[in-house]
Amino acid sequence: MLHFPSWGQHGKLKEITLTSKILGKGQFGTVHYSHCKNDERDVYAIKVIDRKRINGEKDLHNLQNEILIMSEINSDYVVKLKDATKTSNFYYLAMELCNGGDLENYKKIRGGFLKEKEARLILRQIMQGIAAIKEKDVMHRDLKLPNVMLHFEEMTHLSAIDNPQVLKEYISHFDFKNLHQTLKCKIADLGFARKLGEDELAKTGCGTPLLMAPEVLGGQHYNHKADVWSIGCLFYELITGFMPFTGISHANLRENLKKGLFKIPKTVQLSLQGLSFM
């Protein structure tokens, strides 16, 4: 365990215990289950970033940008950044802990796809998160199922973290119809996010190709509408289990996007409202 006697510029967290329990891994580091030294009920997910993996000004700018943007957004539907600090070897980002894993894992455990009503209620929360991000003139630019975290209010933090099988069983037996109000969906990973005014355009291509809007994948200028495209792709993926557009290469994917043709399996029961949204 590591202890940080002085944490961040705001001094919100005096002593934090960084445990060896790893919640996830990324390109630049790992996310650890952590708690206040004097109160183990006060828990956090701390992203530990190895400074040696920050290659050049661009990576450093992206990290600083992520911290700045997360610190400005205060929404129940976006993972909150509690504080941040650094040492000579690492950066530490203390974020709120979500006990339910990500939406990709949830979909998989629930059978690979969701019923429309369940998908629509989940999507409503995602759209509220995107609205909060947009309110700060920010584009997410990498909206996908693994970047949506879940939190079950009636499940303890440690039960699922200590034993992944507990989380799997909880999700598989989750009574969504009667308990959906206890499930919170929170947008995470703003590493590709950037500020963009109403009349501005961006051109840097980033994100996940299969979820990119045509203008992004095609290297054209784009705006906040690119996130709206990704929301539509998420809805399609939730109710069918696969992406609306695919390709064996970037060129082939771009061609399929231009055609704009996608199919809804006959096994999927979709309302007129759902079809219209799609």
Catalytic one of 83, 102, 142, 227: 142
- For tokens 């990709």, the residue is 104
Task: Write the DSSP assignment of the chain as a string of letters.
Answer: -EE-SSBTTT--BS-EEEEEEEEEE-SSEEEEEEEETTEEEEEEEEEEEEGGG--HHHHHHHHHHHHHHHHH---TTBPPEEEEEE-SSEEEEEE---TT-BHHHHHHHTTSS--HHHHHHHHHHHHHHHHHHHHTTEE-----GGGEEEEETTS-HHHHHH-HHHHHHHHHT--HHHHGGGEEEEE---TT-EE--TT--B----S-GGG--HHHHTT--B-THHHHHHHHHHHHHHHHSS-S---SSHHHHHHHHHHT-----TT----HHHHHH-
Does the active-site annotation cover 189?
A: no
CB 242 within 8 A of CB 228: no
Tell me the CA distances in angstroms from 26 to 11, 48, 72, 146, 238, one per residue in order. Answer: 27, 10, 23, 12, 24
Active site residues: 142
